[in-house]
Chain A
C-alpha cells in the first residue's frame, strides 16, 4: 500500500469557460485522519471533491489520491474510494437493497453483513423503493453505499445534510471508528460547528481558494463572534469616549438606543479580554453569536491580507488578486 498522504493536490485549478471555480488549491491530507473542507456554497468544495474522483477533470495542477493520478488510475483506484455526492437524487423504482447490490457489484467485494449493519445503524429500511424514501433516508442509503466496501478513503460531500441529530451522532461515531481502522475521511460542509466536532484538520475554501487551513483551533474561527449589547448609560457622549479607548471594543459600531447605547459588530481575538472589558460597563443585555460561515471566511480573507493566519498554501500572488477584482468590475 502506498505510504504517502491520502490526498495531495498542487495548484489545482478548474475553469468553466471564463468562470474560474478553483484558483489553485493545495491540499495535503494524511492517512487515518478526518479532514474537513468548509466553505460557503459555491466556494468550490464539490468541484474539488469531484476532481478527486475523476468525475470532473482539472484545468491545471496535479492531483494524487492514494498516491495515484485519478485520471490515469481510473476504475482500479476507485475501488478504494467511497463517495457521497453532494446532490444525491436517487429516484429510481429500485429498492435500496437492489441499488446497493448493484453498486456493490461495481466496487467488488462487499461484506453483506457489514452493509446491512450500516443500514441498521442509520435506521433505514432497504426494502422500500428508493423514490418513496424521505430526503434523510435517501441520504442514509447514500452513506451506506459510500461506506459498504470499506474503502481506504471516503470522500463525503455534505454528509449530514438532511439527517436528524441522532443519526448525525451515529455518523460521527462511525467516522471515529473508520479512522481508527486506518481509513481516511474527507468531508465537506458549510456548517462550521459540525466540522469542528469531527475533523482533525480543516481547510477553509472561499471563492475557489484556500483561505486558511490547519488544526481547527488554530484557525481562530471560534474567536470570531457577532456581538450585540445594550449599555444603560445616562451620559451616552461620555460613554462613547470611554468605549473608544478600550482596544477590544474599538472596532464595533456604537449607536444611540432607548436603553442608552447599543454596540454591535464582530469581535476578534481573545474572547476573555473582550468579555472582561464589557463587564465593566453597565450592560442591559448581551448576545454573542457564532457568525455564519460566509462571515468567518470574509474575516479569514482580511486576516490573510495582514499575514496573521497560518496558511498551508502559499500566499496569493498580488497580480491574481488584482486580476480578480478587475474581473468582477468588468
Chain B
C-alpha cells in the first residue's frame, strides 16, 4: 500500500471494492437482523408455549391464520418461522438484497460509475458475476448473524430447534433474498434504472408471499402456491423437516438463471 511499482493483481477487484465500501451498511443490517431476533425469540416461552396464545389464535379467522402461517405457532419451529423466517426476517433480507441488487448494477449505471469502470480493463461478464458474488457474500453475512443468534437463543428461549433444520431454514431464506437481489440485477441490466430494479426485486418477494398466502386459502388455488418462491423455500417447513423442500433447488436455480440472463443482457446492449 502506498508503494511504487506494480500492485498485486486482485482476482476479485469489484467484489473487494464493493464489500469494503459497504461495511458500515452491512453492519447496520446485521444489527437489524440480530435485534429482531433478540426481540422476538425470547418471548416464546411466555407466548407461544403458553395456552393463552393458542386461545388467541383460535379466535382469529382461519384464513388469516393460514395466510400468516400461524397454524404451527405454538411449537418453537412454528413460532420462529412465523415471526422471523416467514415475516420480519424475510422482509428485512429481501429489502436488503433488493437494495443491494439494484445499487450494484442500476445504481452504478445511473451514477456513471459503471461507465467509468467499463472504460478500464474489466469485462461486462465480470461486472455482473462479481456483483452477484457481492450479493451472495453480504447475504451470507446476514445469514451467519441470524444463525448465530438463533442457536444462541435456542436453549434460553426453549425453541427446541435442530441445528440442521435451522441451517435448512437459513438456506431457504438466503435463496429468497438472492432471488430478489438477482431479479434486481436483471431488471437493472434491462432498464438501466435503479427504481425499476428495486421495483422488480421487491415485486418478486411481495408476489411470492401473496401467491402462497392465497394458495393456502383453498385447495383449488394450490397451483398458485407452486408459482411462489416463498412456497419453494418453506414447504414443508424446514425448521421442522430440515432440507426436505422439493422447491429449494428451483429457488436457487431461478436466482442463478437471473444472474446468467443479466450477463447475457448486459453483454448485448449499450451502456447509455
A residues touching B (Cβ–Cβ < 8 Å)? Answer: 53-57, 74-76, 78-79, 81-83, 85, 87-94, 98, 102-113, 145
Contact = CB atoms under 8 A, between A and B. Distances in A.
Interface string B127-143: 00000000000000000
Interface string B114-138: 0111111111001000000000000
B116 A85 contact: yes
Interface stretch (B5-13, B70-78, B157-165): B5-13
Given A106-B13, A111-B5, A56 B116 contact: no
Range for the number of chain B residues in contact with chain A: 20 to 34
Given A88-B112, A105-B13, A111 B119 contact: no
Interface string B1-29: 01111110110011011000100000000
A79 B121 contact: yes
B218 interface: no
A89 B112 CA distance: 6
B270 A57 contact: yes
Contact of B121 (A89, A107, A111): A107
Contact of A85 (B2, B10, B112): B112
B272 interface: yes
Contacts, number: 83
B119 A81 contact: yes
A9 B53 CA distance: 75
A94 B42 CA distance: 40
B126 A75 contact: yes
B119 A94 contact: no
Given A112-B3, A112-B4, A83 B119 contact: yes
B119 A85 contact: yes
Contacts of B10: 105
Given A53-B119, A75-B126, A109 B6 contact: yes
A104 B13 CA distance: 10
A79 B120 CA distance: 6
Contact of A110 (B7, B269, B272): B7
A108 B4 contact: no
B17 A90 contact: no
B121 A75 contact: yes
B7 A103 contact: no
A92 B3 CA distance: 25
B51 interface: no
Contacts of A79: 120-121
Nearest to A76: B121
A111 B270 contact: no
A44 to B, nearest CB: 14
Contact of A105 (B4, B5, B7, B119): B7
5 contacts: A53-B118, A78-B121, A78-B122, A79-B121, A106-B13
Contacts of B58: none
B272 A56 contact: yes
B222 interface: no
Given A57-B270, A110-B7, A103 B2 contact: no
A108 B122 CA distance: 10
Given A104-B7, A108-B9, A112-B4, A55 B113 contact: no
Contacts of A102: 13, 17
Contacts of A90: 112
A85 B117 CA distance: 11
Contact of A56 (B4, B121, B271): B271
A159 to B, nearest CB: 14
